[in-house]
């Protein structure tokens, strides 16, 4: 049968990281991309949310919510949000390891989201159904809104 | 407290006029000096490119001078420049118009027009007046 | 000294050489601009006599409005009568007379100062300060009041012989910060009154006495910024009714840049007793970590050395858990024949205070020997190379991992070393399709892996395992290095992403298939059994909303774990919420984990232009009651701010009785770093 169409390209070189989260994110993204390319700058923010307190206010579970605001040199930009969780009920050594693993998984998910956004931006998109997209009055989407550039 | 022009006594002094050329109107009521005209009256010096002089009835004393084409009026330590000026000799009042620049000692005043009373030393500047307060 | 320039419609030069300018008179002198109806300049006396209405606007945003003035030509010296000084468009001082004394000081007499918008309709401002004399120091940006009287809604409520206030925009002036009135069920009702003392631009000390019916506390916070880093030390001492004897805490943190790209972060955290930090609302951490971490991050390698001491504040934990640990990590990637060679060395050393080689009941929830100390060194080499044709990505994977273990004070017998080779291949296909108005991305992926090296090894750091889209395709799902996922397995999954004009949605479905049950994972992790639970992750992102859901369910559709997070930020409201449900299970360290079903919700709402509300709640579905509730309201007028917060905890345990905290704080704006809000223009009456 006819060879399947090649996927929309996604090649970029993430900026050099400045901390562990950046290191894990940059490597996870490099593993998923097609290869080096224009510079991709990124800023990672994360926030802990403690959940499931026991009687003595002991945290049993923590969710880490992470966002990465990225922009490709001369190309699209965007903001991705994801979260992972870990159990804080083991010993302090186990909890530290569980936390780092949760951070690594969060970076893996954010890297997958950025790769998908790059490919979707490169993908040809058919003209939209509705001829005119009404801009809601006063609905100023926050800068770097996650609405991807695939939109017209 | 030195008024503009050094003092009142000059106003009555006789007026001498030197110029490159002179043409007198037929009825003798006025004359036109042209080319580097300099009018002297005591301490007062008025120079201009063209000065039209109007004489009073008996043709003996100058009543009015209308200077145009860039006028410089020097009176003792003070000076004034303008595009044109008219000097009512009897009243001792000079009206300068067009990019007027009055300078008295360090203070310099620029304006669109100015009226200088050589007798009292008062000056009145109008229109877009600018000056620097030393 | 730059001369002042005068511009006007008319200038009259009198015989005595005085100049009288009338008609839109302006005097300009490097940054200061004066406009008036008439200005008389006497060159001999070198004075300007000015008739109003006068407006003098300084370079720094201060404005003086006055009726008359007698100033020097450089507008620096002189007296202004019937003056109203507006500082930085915020603080207004109306004065009978204002004396300019050089470029730095302005002295006003018989003054009324306020930052509130005063309108003809309601002339009494919310607050005003009347004083006989006021001195504004423009250089230090301070304002001194003499014999001041503070009036609230026109009613004098405080007389202060001397009052010093930071001018607007001055955010490092010494002085009292906003007082906070707090009432908590354990410490009674009282007030916290912080005093801020800057010592130069890079150091400051804040002393906060907290006096309440149930406590006498003083709190010190020292902050310093060095050329190569910053650090802060907070410590406090208390005598209160909750616990007899002196109580206190120390929280010190610092981060510094070392040479050659290394960074050091250090911390010391301790408290006199487990409940102190929670009682005083300083931190809700239930474990305090002290120690230091040195890291270096570069494009291709990461290095980290960490020494940490643990101080548990949990009632359920004593000294049967490690109280100190050291870790070492070096991870470097080399390019190798078109693929990547990752070399990683990591080591762990942990210590327990006790030496009991067995797990005595009642010590803690796990079955690890109460005195076990241990060490581990792991060396690992990964190789992967991707071959791509069209949308297909084929990546053969090789890993060689060698680990050595050392254990003390543990009666159990463990193997000492482990060699865990891994071989496998990763198959990924990326396809995209465009439909009307949206573009799709579909990515089926499969990993076929085998790992050797099964055995009985001490497991300290890998006793809590999770499954989500972040490690569905990881070579080992154990969080630490003590345990390795062995045996044959196939990680399969598909991710679908749709990007439309308004929203981006994505869905991931995956599972781990195994020929037989390796018996490695606890049943609550979703990874137990011959095949793992199904993993379903969905996410939705629009301009304002970001929601992610993750659920693990088995073949009978019974849910093992379900977690959701949602954040919404609209023009007037913001909301963030989290939900977690987890079935009860026995963890790898033998501890029995109870089931959890809980939701947290936090939000802020702009009610009106001046009022906004905030709320927070934590709801326990199994206990069917709230664990914690918080509500707050803030009023921001044009010249003052007030904040009310009420917090109620419903958790009850021996060390901590349920706590209710109510706080009120009131601050005048228009001073220091709190800008007044010029929102309310005067009504039609003007």
Q: What pLDDT shows up at residue B96? A: 92
Contact residues for C127 (Cβ-Cβ < 8 A; gap 6+): C114, C116, C150, C151, C152, C153, C639, C640, C668
pLDDT higher than 50, residue A1: no
* Angle in degrees, CA C141, C142, C148, rounded to 5: 150
- A34, A58, A119 ranked by CB distance to C441: nearest: A119
- Minimal Cα distance from C7: which residue of B? B130
Coil, helix or strand for C489? strand
Q: Do chains C and A touch (3 or more CB pairs under 8 A)?
A: yes
Asked if residues C472 and C537 have their Cβ atoms less than 8 Å apart, the reply is: no
pLDDT higher than 50, residue C686: no
CA A146 to chain centre: 10
pLDDT higher than 60, residue A115: yes
Residue A55 confidence class, pLDDT cut points 50, 70, 90 = low
Q: Which residues of C touch B130 (CB under 8 A)?
A: 5-7
- Minimal Cα distance from A2: which residue of C? C390
Asked if residues B79 and B73 have their Cβ atoms less than 8 Å apart, the reply is: yes
Q: Which residues of C touch B94 (CB under 8 A)?
A: none
Token pair for C346: 């990591």
% pLDDT > 70, chain A: 74
pLDDT tens-digit series, residues B33-59: 888 888 888 888 888 988 888 877 665
Contact B130/C at CB under 8 A: yes
CA-nearest of A52, A130, A59, A45 to A92 is: A59
- Give me the residues paired with residue C324 across strands: C309, C351
d(CA C281, CA C210): 12
Residue A122 confidence class, pLDDT cut points 50, 70, 90 = confident
Contact B77/C at CB under 8 A: no
Tokens 């300084």 belong to which residue? C58
Contact A69/C at CB under 8 A: no
Is the Cβ pair C10, B126 closer than 8 Å? yes
Token pair for C422: 């891994």
Asked if residues C208 and C179 have their Cβ atoms less than 8 Å apart, the reply is: no
pLDDT higher than 70, residue C634: yes
CA-nearest of C320, C229, C239, C227 to C272 is: C239
Token pair for C677: 């809000």
pLDDT higher than 50, residue C7: yes
Q: Report the gap between the CA of A53 and the closest CA in chain C (Å).
A: 8
Q: What pLDDT shows up at residue C122? A: 73
Q: What pLDDT shows up at residue C357? A: 87
Q: ipTM of this predicted complex?
A: 0.78
Task: Give me the mean pLDDT over the C192-221 stretch.
Answer: 94
> Which chains does chain A touch, 3 or more C-beta pairs < 8 A?
C
Is the Cβ pair A58, C286 closer than 8 Å? yes
% pLDDT > 90, chain C: 53
CA C384 to chain centre: 39
Q: Which residues of B touch C8 (CB under 8 A)?
A: 129
Interface-testing mutation among C4, C5, C6, C15, with chain B (most B C-beta atoms within 10 A): C15
Q: What pLDDT shows up at residue A132? A: 45
Phi, psi of C217, deg, nearest 5:
-130, 145
pTM for the predicted model, two decimal places: 0.79
Q: What pLDDT shows up at residue C134? A: 93
Q: How many CB atoms lie within 10 A of CB B6?
A: 17
């Amino acid at each position: 049968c006819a060879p399947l169409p090649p996927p929309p390209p996604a090649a970029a070189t993430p900026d050099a990281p400045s901390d562990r989260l950046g290191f894990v994110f940059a490597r996870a993204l490099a593993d998923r991309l097609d290869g080096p390319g224009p510079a991709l700058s990124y800023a990672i923010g994360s926030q802990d949310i403690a959940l499931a307190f026991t009687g003595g206010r002991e945290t049993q579970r923590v969710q880490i919510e992470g966002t990465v605001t990225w922009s490709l040199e001369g190309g699209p930009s965007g903001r991705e949000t994801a979260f992972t969780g870990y159990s804080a009920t083991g010993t302090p050594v186990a909890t530290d390891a569980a936390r780092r693993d949760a951070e690594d998984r969060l970076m893996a998910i954010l890297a997958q989201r950025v790769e998908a956004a790059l490919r979707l931006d490169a993908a040809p998109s058919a003209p939209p159904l509705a001829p005119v997209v009404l801009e809601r009055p006063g609905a100023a989407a926050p800068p770097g809104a996650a609405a991807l550039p695939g939109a017209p | 407290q030195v008024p503009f022009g050094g003092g009142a006594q000059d106003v009555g002094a006789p007026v001498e006029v030197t110029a490159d050329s002179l043409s007198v109107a037929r009825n003798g009521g006025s004359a036109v000096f042209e080319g580097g005209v300099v009018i002297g009256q005591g301490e007062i010096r008025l120079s201009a490119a063209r000065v039209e002089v109007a004489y009073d009835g008996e043709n003996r004393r100058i009543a009015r001078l209308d200077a145009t084409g860039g006028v410089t009026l020097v009176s003792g330590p003070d000076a004034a420049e303008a595009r044109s000026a008219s000097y009512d000799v009897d009243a001792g009042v000079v009206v300068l118009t067009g990019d007027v620049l009055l300078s008295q000692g360090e203070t310099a005043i620029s304006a669109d027009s100015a009226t200088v009373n050589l007798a009292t030393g008062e000056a009145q500047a109008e229109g877009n007046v600018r000056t620097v307060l030393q | 000294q730059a001369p002042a320039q005068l511009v006007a419609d008319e200038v009259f030069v009198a015989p005595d050489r005085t100049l009288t300018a009338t008609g839109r008179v302006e005097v300009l002198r490097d940054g200061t601009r004066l406009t008036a109806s008439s200005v008389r300049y006497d060159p001999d006396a070198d004075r300007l006599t000015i008739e109003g209405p006068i407006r003098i606007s300084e370079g720094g945003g201060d404005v003086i409005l006055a009726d008359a003035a007698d100033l020097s030509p450089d507008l620096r010296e002189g007296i202004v009568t019937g003056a109203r000084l507006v500082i930085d468009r915020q603080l207004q001082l109306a004065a009978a007379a204002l004396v300019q004394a050089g470029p730095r000081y302005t002295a006003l007499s018989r003054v009324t100062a306020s930052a509130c918008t005063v309108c003809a309709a309601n002339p009494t401002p919310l607050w005003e300060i009347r004083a006989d004399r006021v001195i504004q120091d423009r250089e230090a940006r301070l304002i001194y009041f003499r014999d001041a009287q503070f009036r609230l809604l026109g009613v004098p409520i405080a007389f202060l012989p001397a009052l010093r206030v930071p001018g607007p925009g001055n955010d490092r002036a010494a002085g009292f910060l906003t007082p906070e009135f707090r009432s908590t069920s354990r410490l009674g009702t009282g007030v916290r009154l912080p005093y801020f003392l800057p010592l130069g631009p890079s150091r400051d000390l804040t002393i906060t006495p907290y006096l309440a019916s149930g406590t006498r506390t003083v709190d010190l916070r020292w902050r310093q910024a060095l050329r190569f880093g910053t650090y802060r030390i907070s410590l406090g001492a208390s005598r209160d009714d909750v616990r007899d004897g002196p109580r206190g805490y120390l929280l010190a943190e610092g981060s510094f840049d070392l040479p050659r790209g290394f960074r050091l972060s250090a911390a010391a955290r301790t408290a006199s007793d487990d409940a102190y930090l929670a009682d005083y609302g300083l931190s809700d951490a239930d474990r305090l970590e002290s120690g230091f971490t040195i890291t270096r991050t570069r494009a291709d390698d990461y290095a980290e050395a960490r020494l940490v001491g643990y101080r548990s504040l949990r009632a359920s934990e004593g000294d049967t858990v490690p109280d100190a640990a050291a870790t070492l990590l070096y991870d470097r990637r080399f390019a190798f024949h078109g693929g990547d060679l990752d070399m990683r060395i990591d080591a762990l050393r942990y210590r327990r205070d006790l030496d009991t080689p067995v797990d005595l009941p009642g010590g803690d929830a796990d079955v690890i020997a109460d005195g076990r100390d241990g060490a581990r060194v792991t060396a690992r080499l990964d190789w992967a190379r991707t071959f791509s044709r069209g949308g297909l990505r084929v990546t053969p994977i090789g890993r060689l991992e060698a680990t050595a273990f050392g254990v003390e004070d543990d009666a159990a017998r463990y193997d000492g070393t482990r060699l865990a080779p891994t071989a496998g291949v990763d198959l990924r296909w990326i396809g995209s399709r465009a439909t009307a108005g949206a573009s799709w991305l579909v990515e089926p992926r499969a990993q076929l892996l085998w790992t050797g090296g099964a055995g009985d090894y001490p497991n300290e750091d890998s006793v809590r395992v999770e499954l989500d889209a972040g490690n569905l395709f990881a070579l080992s799902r154990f969080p630490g290095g003590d345990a390795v996922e062995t045996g044959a397995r196939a990680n399969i999954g598909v991710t679908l992403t749709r990007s439309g004009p308004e929203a981006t949605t994505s869905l991931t479905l995956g599972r781990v298939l195994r020929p037989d049950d390796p018996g490695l994972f606890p049943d609550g992790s979703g990874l137990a059994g011959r095949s793992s639970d199904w993993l379903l992750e969905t996410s939705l992102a629009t301009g304002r909303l970001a929601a992610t859901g993750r659920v693990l369910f088995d073949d009978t559709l019974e849910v093992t774990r379900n977690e959701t997070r949602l954040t919404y930020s609209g023009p007037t409201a913001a909301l963030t919420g989290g939900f977690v449900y987890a079935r009860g299970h026995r963890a790898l360290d033998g501890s029995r984990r109870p089931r959890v079903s809980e939701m947290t919700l936090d939000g802020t709402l702009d009610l009106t232009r001046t009022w906004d509300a905030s709320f927070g709640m934590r709801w326990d579905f199994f206990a069917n009651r709230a664990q914690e509730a918080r509500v707050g309201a803030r009023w921001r007028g044009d010249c003052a701010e007030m904040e009310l917060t009420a917090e109620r905890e419903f958790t009850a345990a021996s060390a901590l009785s349920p706590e209710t905290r109510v706080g009120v704080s009131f601050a005048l704006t228009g001073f220091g770093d709190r800008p007044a809000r010029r929102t309310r223009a005067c009504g039609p009456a003007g």
